[in-house]
Amino acid sequence: MPGEPPIVGTLAVLHAIEERHAPTAIAGLFPAQPRDRAEMWRLLEWVLIKLNDEVTRYVLEEKIVKRDQRGATPDPGVLRVAKANLAEHLLYFNWLFATRQWFAGATMTLADFALAAHLSSLDYLGDVHWDTSPETRHWYARIKSRPAFRTLLNDRVPGMPAAAGYADLDF
């Protein structure tokens, strides 16, 4: 808004959008009830900060960024730790999905899209072991089947094919 200081940071921007436009313009992304909204914010932060800092950024750095750097090779130790961390996160996500339909509760929220984006990136690279994550897999299949998400499944990293089954809706 003109005359206002800039808003910096992912969570700050999302909060500003919520305050300015909810519930009319973005109905459904932010739960109406304070308790449900707090759970959405908690899990959104979990994904954007914790999952990213413990898993996603390391996997992407090692497998994609280093591929384009002269003399750089993926560090197997870093990948091993990131994959072990992912397994722990998936255990928690499975526990959550065993008790609720969507990531933050009874309705789909912004937290679902954040988690789907991270898992989609990791799934593209073949790093999600879906056989050990049945509840999360079921949720992800529902997200992948949404028309707005299906188009993202066609995106490709040049020179790096997607893992088998990545774009399959029933995987």
Per-domain residue ranges for the chain?
1-30, 33-154
Ranges of residues in the chain whose predicted pLDDT is under 50: none
What phi and psi values does residue 160 have, to the nearest 5 degrees?
Answer: -140, 100
Task: Reduce the DSSP state of residue 45 to 3 states and report it.
Answer: helix
- β-bridge partners, 30: 27
User: What pLDDT score was predicted for residue 27?
Assistant: 57
User: What pLDDT score was predicted for residue 24?
Assistant: 60
User: What pLDDT score was predicted for residue 54?
Assistant: 98
91-129 b/e (C-beta count within 10 Å ≥ 16 → b): eebbebbeeeebbbbebbbbbbbbbbbbbbbbbbbebbe
User: What pLDDT score was predicted for residue 15?
Assistant: 74
Residue 125 in contact with residue 82, Cβ under 8 Å? no
For the domain made up of 33-154, give the CATH fold: Glutathione S-transferase Yfyf (Class Pi); Chain A, domain 2 (1.20.1050)
User: What pLDDT score was predicted for residue 5?
Assistant: 82
Q: Which residue has the tokens 């499944």?
A: 153
Task: Reduce the DSSP state of residue 34 to 3 states and report it.
Answer: helix
What is the C-alpha separation between 142 and 116, in angstroms, rounded?
Answer: 10
Residue 90 in contact with residue 132, Cβ under 8 Å? yes
pTM confidence score: 0.86
